[in-house]
Structure 1
Amino acid sequence: MITTINNKHKKLNVPNLRFPEFEGEWEESTIGEMFDLYSGNTPSRLNKEHFKGTVNWISSGELKEHYLSSSKEQISEEAAKNLKLLPVGTFVIAIYGLEAEGVRGTGSITQEPSTISQACMSFIPKGVIENEFLYSWYKKHGNVIGIRYAQGTKQQNLSYDILEKFRIAYPNTKEQEKLNKFISLLDKRIATQNKIIEDLKKLKSAIIEIEYTPNTKNTSPIGDVIEQISKRNKNNAIQNVLSVSNRQGFIKQSDQFENRNVASEDTSNYKIVEQNDFAFNPARINVGSIARLTTFEKGIVSPMYVCFRTQENVAPEYIDYFFESKHFYCEIQKRLEGSVRQCLSFEGLCNIPLSLPSFEIQQRIGKRIFTLGQKIKMETDLLELLNKQKQYLLRQMFI
Structure 2
Amino acid sequence: MGDLCNVLMCKRILASQTNTEEGVPFYKIGTIGNAPDAYISKELFDDYKTKYNYPHKGEVMITCAGTVGKCVIYDGKDAYYQDSNIVWIDNPSQCISNSFLYHLLAKVDWRKLNSTTIIRIYNDDLRNLKLSYPQIEEQQKISRLLSFLDERIATQNKIIDKLQSLIKGIRNDVFGKLRKDIGLNAKVGDVLSYEQPQPYIVEDTEYTAGGTPVLTANKAFVLGYTSETDGIYDKGDCIIFDDFTLDCKYVDFPFKVKSSAIKILTAKNKELLRYTFEFLKYLDLSTDEHKRHYIAETQNQEFILPTTQIVRTIAHAFSTLSSRMQTIVKQRDMLELQKQYLLRQMFI
TM-score, structure 2 as length reference? 0.75
When you count strand as a share of all residues, which structure comes out higher? 1
**Contact 2:271/2:316, CA 8 A, preserved across alignment:** no
Query: CA separation in 2, counterparts of 1:33 and 1:95?
Result: 20
**Contact 2:24/2:40, CA 8 A, preserved across alignment:** yes
Matches within 5 A, 1:202-351: 202-213=165-176, 214-223=178-187, 226=190, 229=193, 239-241=199-201, 245-247=217-219, 275=236, 280-285=241-246, 288=247, 290-291=248-249, 294-296=252-254, 302=260, 309-310=266-267, 315-325=272-282, 328-329=283-284, 332=285, 341=290, 344=293, 346=295, 348-350=297-299
**Contact 1:52/1:74, CA 8 A, preserved across alignment:** yes
Q: CA deviation at 1:207?
A: 1.8
Q: Which residue of the other structure, out of 72, 90, 93, is the alignment partner of 1:127?
A: 93
Structure number with larger C-alpha Rg = 1
Query: Secondary structure at the residue paired with 1:170?
Result: coil
1:148 matched residue in structure 2: 112
Whether 1:186 and 2:144 are equivalent positions in the alignment is no
Distance 1:161 1:368, change over 3 A: same
Query: CA separation in 2, counterparts of 1:293 and 1:353?
Result: 23
1:115 matched residue in structure 2: 80
**Contact 2:64/2:87, CA 8 A, preserved across alignment:** yes
**Contact 2:5/2:91, CA 8 A, preserved across alignment:** yes
Q: Which residue of the other structure, out of 41, 59, 74, is the alignment partner of 2:39?
A: 74
TM-score, structure 1 as length reference? 0.67
Whether 1:95 and 2:64 are equivalent positions in the alignment is yes
> Percent of counterpart pairs with the same letter?
20
**Contact 1:275/1:296, CA 8 A, preserved across alignment:** yes
Query: Secondary structure at the residue paired with 1:34?
Result: coil
Q: CA deviation at 1:124?
A: 1.4
Distance 1:154 1:231, change over 3 A: closer
1:37 matched residue in structure 2: 7
Q: Which residue of the other structure, out of 49, 58, 62, is the alignment partner of 2:27?
A: 58
**Contact 1:85/1:114, CA 8 A, preserved across alignment:** no
Distance 1:36 1:281, change over 3 A: closer
Query: Secondary structure at the residue paired with 1:246?
Result: coil
Query: CA separation in 2, counterparts of 1:222 and 1:298?
Result: 31
Whether 1:379 and 2:328 are equivalent positions in the alignment is yes
Q: CA deviation at 1:382?
A: 1.7
Query: Secondary structure at the residue paired with 1:108?
Result: strand
Match for 2:86: what amino acid? Answer: C
Query: CA separation in 1, counterparts of 2:346 and 2:171?
Result: 45
**Contact 2:160/2:328, CA 8 A, preserved across alignment:** yes
Match for 2:72: what amino acid? Answer: S
1:360 matched residue in structure 2: 309
Distance 1:201 1:294, change over 3 A: same
Distance 1:182 1:306, change over 3 A: closer
Aligned residues: 324
Query: Secondary structure at the residue paired with 1:393?
Result: helix
1:4 matched residue in structure 2: none
Match for 2:41: what amino acid? Answer: S
Query: CA separation in 2, counterparts of 1:357 and 1:225?
Result: 15
Match for 1:131: what amino acid? Answer: N
Distance 1:55 1:346, change over 3 A: same
Q: CA deviation at 1:293?
A: 5.8
Match for 2:276: what amino acid? Answer: I
Query: Secondary structure at the residue paired with 1:122?
Result: strand
Unpaired segments of 5 or more residues in structure 2?
203-214
1:138 matched residue in structure 2: 105
Query: CA separation in 1, counterparts of 2:92 and 2:343?
Result: 24
**Contact 2:196/2:262, CA 8 A, preserved across alignment:** no
